Structure 1
């Protein structure tokens, strides 16, 4: 049997400037149609319809009522289901699913992952060289949300194309520069989201974000026009700040998906899922992490860590030196730097990484 669980879900977005969100509490219902224990899958959540008599009706599995005995409307699903006409007018309908007030049954949400990455808290010498332990290709734990109740049914995890350009370049400095790109993306996305919430249009907010992104970095490392288009679309979809950051990095091939978990629930029923990610500063970091971790016993027990709180730490210098690059498939990376022969790229890449490690850990 289909397990029916219908819930009234109030989204308290009053006072926000997000045009795609309601400015008042909205009656919603969620139904576990496929019996998997949650109501977070496509088609399992919907806005309840205002009916005559001050009631609400769930449109999921809703059917039209028929004329029955005594010329009265009757619900074909059973006499226990009440027929009512929409306030907007039309034929009376009925639904097997009810709406329940979240004022009495609040939505419980997991805290948004807020991982600043590895702290730069070691001592340095007069030249700025690290004197302590370093992490190589360190990442950050982030999350994005697939279509669900709390992201206005939009897919905030959808790839929007390659915005961040990844390549080793022709100098050691180019690698160092690219390692700062993700940090500048976060700065720009935060600026865009803050401007949007303060009342700017999506286009104005995206332009402000793009300006913040390119300050201090080589503009050739990011496709600014694509970034602006991406930010406009995401802002109008109702995705939040971290959805935006994760989407931009994920679409550029810089994130490893760790798993999916329930981000919000009511009465123990999941109504919004999230996908946890380990996102790295460059695409090469993600590729080497994915293929390097299985080679190291230090990661055998933890893998990528718990789904809700991924372990995105970088390699220690000793772990990095133990990696066997000959066993790695770097074809995905080669495709991004097609101007060189594969063998030359592999040698060049290894030399540059070794040189970079030597520079920051003499």
Structure 2
């Protein structure tokens, strides 16, 4: 694969990117591996093995097709780091053996070999001969013991469950500062050990105006940029020149407003995403997280094997603005209705907005908005406070 050239990036930067009302084409899902030929050097958690024993480092000398093993070597709760999953090796008896944490067996006075890390682990002779070895980590065939996978959160947010009257007011359930549950994935087996939760600079602008007030429209902005960058990148990979690739990206976009998004940052971010194993939800969550619009609920596992997590994920509640996220974070503790619920679980975040009654009950004198003020340098703090008060008052008048 050719790396994106400076000319391509420059061409992409000249695209007139704007809001797309259509969903972007999703990136193809990567198939989880059933064999890892060259695992990163595993370490022996029991300490150095006998100096005369065969080394347990390096790739498998004769891997068993389809057989995999995994171990949490660094004790961080998953086996998603380099060297923590490997192909199993053949042995003379035909049984597979995990190379991770493998040590030499020790012979007693009768010449019988025993495993120094536990008698329950079998000593096996390598296919090429030599001293028997043992490993505490089990092998399994994913075709027989499949990976356990959790699908993306894919939360559509609050549904439009009512009609709008002649004055544009919703006549059904109303949520104020509502969000969506979204996930991104740190390094793991499904995203080729790439960090898809890595925060960049602020990409989505907070003050987009009423046209971009909803989170769904902001995501459509992101998808519009993604559509163009993805089309340009695919054209470049297929052999197009930088200019041709940029043209392909331009033609794939339907009217993006360049004032709604930091175009250069978005392009750099998406090019990096396209070079990694991140999927579209990773990309959407990453842009919103980078822009300060997401509250991280916690970590959970999306791919597991033999009881070990191979692909962690982080569940988030993402909102339409940074202001929405700040008010949600500091407003929820004030309300009894969120007691015992909090933010839900990382796998199933509770991202609902405030009801009108809950919103009226908030004490804004206890909400610190300094983080929000610092981001809006061109407007005075008093102006922002007055605008907020006017908008809240206007909203409450409509509700009455």
Q: Could you state the TM-score of these two structures normalised by the residue count of structure 1?
A: 0.74
Of 123, 129, 136, 1:80 maps to: 123
- Distance between the aligned counterparts of 1:268 and 1:24, measured in 2? 17
Contact kept, 8 Å, 2:299 with 2:315, in 1: the verdict is: yes
Of 5, 14, 26, 2:35 maps to: 26
Give the equivalent residue in structure 1 for 2:178: 138
Of 325, 346, 350, 2:385 maps to: 346
Contact kept, 8 Å, 1:192 with 1:206, in 2: the verdict is: no
Of 163, 172, 183, 2:219 maps to: 183
SS at match of 1:265: strand
Give the equivalent residue in structure 1 for 2:190: 150
SS at match of 1:262: strand
Contact kept, 8 Å, 2:230 with 2:249, in 1: the verdict is: no
Q: 1:104 to 1:177 in 2, by over 3 A?
A: closer
Following superposition of structure 1 onto structure 2, how do residues 297-336 of structure 1 map, counting pairs within 5 Å?
Answer: 297-336=336-375
Give the equivalent residue in structure 1 for 2:87: 48
Aligned: 1:276 with 2:276 = no
Following superposition of structure 1 onto structure 2, how do residues 1-362 of structure 1 map, counting pairs within 5 Å?
Answer: 25-27=34-36, 28-34=68-74, 38-43=77-82, 45-48=84-87, 60-61=100-101, 80-83=123-126, 96=135, 97=137, 99-167=139-207, 174-179=209-214, 181-185=217-221, 187-188=223-224, 191=227, 201=237, 208=249, 212=253, 215=255, 218-355=257-394, 357=395
Superposed CA offset, 1:126-176 (max 9, x none)? 343222231111100011111111211111111122111113x7xxxx244
Moved more, 240-249 or 40-49: 40-49
Cα offset, 1:93, TM superposition? 12
Structure having the higher Rg: 2
SS at match of 2:259: helix
Cα offset, 1:185, TM superposition? 3.4
SS at match of 2:368: coil
Superposed CA offset, 1:86-116 (max 9, x none)? xxxxx99977345421111001112221111
- Distance between the aligned counterparts of 1:206 and 1:148, measured in 2? 34
Moved more, 194-203 or 275-284: 194-203
Cα offset, 1:196, TM superposition? 9.0
- Distance between the aligned counterparts of 1:205 and 1:92, measured in 2? 60
SS at match of 2:281: helix
SS at match of 1:48: strand
Cα offset, 1:273, TM superposition? 1.4
SS at match of 2:299: strand
Give the equivalent residue in structure 2 for 1:6: none
Contact kept, 8 Å, 2:189 with 2:310, in 1: the verdict is: yes
Segments of 5+ residues of structure 2 without an aligned counterpart are 1-25, 37-67, 108-112
Segments of 5+ residues of structure 1 without an aligned counterpart are 1-15, 69-73, 86-90
Q: 1:232 to 1:50 in 2, by over 3 A?
A: farther
Q: Could you state the TM-score of these two structures normalised by the residue count of structure 2?
A: 0.67
- Distance between the aligned counterparts of 1:205 and 1:150, measured in 2? 29
SS at match of 2:375: coil
Cα offset, 1:298, TM superposition? 0.9
Contact kept, 8 Å, 2:89 with 2:99, in 1: the verdict is: no
SS at match of 1:191: helix
- Distance between the aligned counterparts of 2:247 and 2:397, measured in 1? 36
